Amino acid sequence: GEDVEQSLFLSVREGDSSVINCTYTDSSSTYLYWYKQEPGAGLQLLTYIFSNMDMKQDQRLTVLLNKKDKHLSLRIADTQTGDSAIYFCADLNQAGTALIFGKGTTLSVSS
Amino acid sequence: GAVVSQHPSRVICKSGTSVKIECRSLDFQATTMFWYRQFPKKSLMLMATSNEGSKATYEQGVEKDKFLINHASLTLSTLTVTSAHPEDSSFYICSSQSVTEAFFGQGTRLTVV
């Protein structure tokens, strides 16, 4: 079946850039997403990228997609303590009806 | 924008009892809602797809008799955990989505004691 994988932990210092990586198996993916979950809160959609794009930038967020290698990354510039959260990579399934999530990467930002 | 409201946010129940979780779409008609479960190691699993006016579609390995889903109207889908056991303790999230946008409920933390 379709699978999405990402590393579980990332620790950075305030002001540095954070890069969270994700790999997926579904070659027919049309959209890939990044979600953020703050402690005790629900999921928040951060950004998404269409599969025919290589890059998408939105303020401090940069999404890179390598469709050949099925690799997606999220770069957060000038990381702040408020960015500490769990970040989920997700892939729209073949039927286009539901999202397949990775296990989430816990980003810890120290001051 | 469209909002999905999930209730309750937290519930503690005794083993053997049933718990109902509601998911409401506030600004739009949701013909389809998705129910996810988040496991302790943070992976999110799609449990079922709830279709308005018809039976829900369950993912492999999810017991349909244990996790009853009802989508009786275009604004309300419910998940009932029947005869709850401690291993059902988890974070349950509902969602409605299009290809470009997803709307998530706030999630329900279920603890079975």
Residues in chain A: 111
Residue B2 reports pLDDT greater than 70: no
pLDDT at B31: 76
CA distance A35 to chain B (A): 10
Chain B segment 3-42 residues within 8 A of A by beta carbon are 6, 32, 34, 36, 41-42
pLDDT at A1: 62
Chain A CB within 8 Å of residue B108 CB? no
Cβ contacts of residue A95 below 8 Å, gap of 6+?
none
pLDDT higher at A86 or A18: A18
Largest CA distance in chain B: 40
CA distance A78 to chain B (A): 26
Residue A96 reports pLDDT greater than 70: no
User: Which pLDDT tens digit goes with each residue over A21-37?
Assistant: 999 988 777 789 899 98
* Residue B74 in tokens: 């275009």
Cα→Cα distances B6→B2, B20, B29, Å: 13, 11, 15
- Cα distance between the two ends of chain B: 38
Separation between Cα atoms, residue B88 and residue B15, nearest integer Å = 10
User: Which pLDDT tens digit goes with each residue over B31-68?
Assistant: 788 899 987 655 678 899 888 888 898 988 999 999 99
Decide: A38 and B106 in contact? Cβ < 8 Å: no
User: Which pLDDT tens digit goes with each residue over A33-65?
Assistant: 899 987 766 677 888 898 888 999 999 999 999
Contacts with A103 from chain B: Cβ below 8 Å: 41-43
Kindly determine whether residue A102 and residue B41, on different chains, have CB atoms separated by under 8 Å: no
Kindly determine whether residue B44 and residue A92, on different chains, have CB atoms separated by under 8 Å: no
Decide: B98 and B2 in contact? Cβ < 8 Å: no
Separation between Cα atoms, residue B85 and residue A57, nearest integer Å = 45
Chain A CB within 8 Å of residue B107 CB? yes
Q: What are phi and psi of B9, to 5 degrees?
A: -85, -30
By mean pLDDT, which of A3-12, A85-94, B93-102, B103-112 is the weakest?
A: B93-102
User: Which pLDDT tens digit goes with each residue over B88-101?
Assistant: 998 898 988 655 56
pLDDT at B95: 86
* Residue B49 in tokens: 């797809």
Residue type present at position B42: K
Sign of CA dihedral B90, B26, B49, A4: negative
Contacts with A31 from chain B: Cβ below 8 Å: 99-100
pLDDT at A45: 80
Separation between Cα atoms, residue A61 and residue A8, nearest integer Å = 20
pLDDT at B74: 83
pLDDT over 90 for what percent of chain B?
40
The rounded Cα B73 to chain-centroid distance in angstroms is 15
Residue A109 reports pLDDT greater than 70: yes
Please, which pLDDT band fits residue B25 given cuts at 50, 70 and 90?
confident
